[in-house]
Amino acid sequence: MQIQYKPRRSWLGTIFQTEILQGMGLTLRRLFSRPITRQYPDERPQIRPGFRGQHALVRDPATGDCKCIGCMRCAMVCPSRCIRIRSHKDKEPGSRRVIDCYRIEALRCVYCGYCEEVCPVNAIVLTEVYEYSRYERPSLYFTREQLLANWDRFVAQMDKPVKEYVNPFWRPRGQAERNLTGPKRLPVPPEWSGEQQVVGRKWRQHLPPEQS
């Protein structure tokens, strides 16, 4: 890391206080420039794909229930420990786990997106919904039913079919497609796929000869 120090001020700069004049000049230039403040809520921002907003459980169109399989990966990877899951497995052979309780404490969430990346079936998502402030704390303790309702409201606001929606965090960066589960092999923009990014020990192979 290269540290660049501020050059020492000359005696002329000390007398005439050139730094103050520079600051006042910047203030005058901004005073007559066009304002860039967005007049919210009349002017709403354009939300990009991958924005981490309100939590939701993706509803399986085949069964009408959530896609969660109870693997507990999201709860284990969560750095703020805001996810609580209870499930059971039927005694019948080959049966899948049944989710009894799925809760997310949104007030503790740091919106890192790890739960989205680690989920093997893309059952959880941080939607592009950002307007969900509340006056009561219990309303931000999302239950399984509330999370499914969040997904239904998000789907109703989409301008395209739900089958075409792909959240970029469902496709982890820097992972080759062969290392992903079937549901996570989704079409995403090249900057999100990350297959051409140099990570790990391979970075030395891409250095110039004089630096390797």
Residue pointed to by tokens 């941080």: 126
pLDDT in tens, 67-121: 999 999 999 999 999 999 999 887 777 677 888 999 999 999 999 999 999 999 9
Q: Which two tokens stand for residue 35?
A: 């304002």
CATH number at residue 80: 3.30.70.3270
pLDDT of 6:
66
Report the candidate in 14, 81, 87, 55 with the shortest Cα–Cα distance to residue 167. 55
Of the ranges 2-11, 20-29, 109-118, 190-199, which one carries the lowest mean pLDDT score?
190-199
β-strand partners of 99: 87
Is the Cβ–Cβ distance between 67 and 122 less than 8 Å? yes
Instruction: Give 146-174 as a DSSP string.
Output: HHHHHHHHHHHT-SS-GGG---GGGS-TT
Q: Which two tokens stand for residue 24?
A: 């006042």
Identify whether 18 is part of a domain. no
Residue 151 lies in a domain: yes
- Count how many domains the chain has: 1
Residue 26 in domain: no
Examine residue 211 and state whether it is found in any structural domain, yes or no: no
For residue 80, being part of any structural domain is answered with yes
pLDDT of residue 163: 87
Range of the structural domain that residue 147 is part of: 55-185
Q: Which two tokens stand for residue 202?
A: 């391979």
Rounded (10°) CA dihedral 76, 168, 99, 182: -100
Report yes or no on 179 lying in a domain. yes
State pLDDT tens for residues 124-180. 999 999 999 889 988 899 999 999 999 999 999 988 888 888 888 898 777 777 888
Is 198 among the domain residues?
Answer: no
**Could you report the per-residue pLDDT of 40-71, keeping only the tens digit for each?**
888 888 888 789 999 999 999 888 899 999 99
Strand pairing class (141-142; 83-89): unpaired
Nearest one of 98, 102, 100 to 63, comparing CA atoms: 98
Q: Does residue 27 or residue 177 have the better pLDDT? A: 27
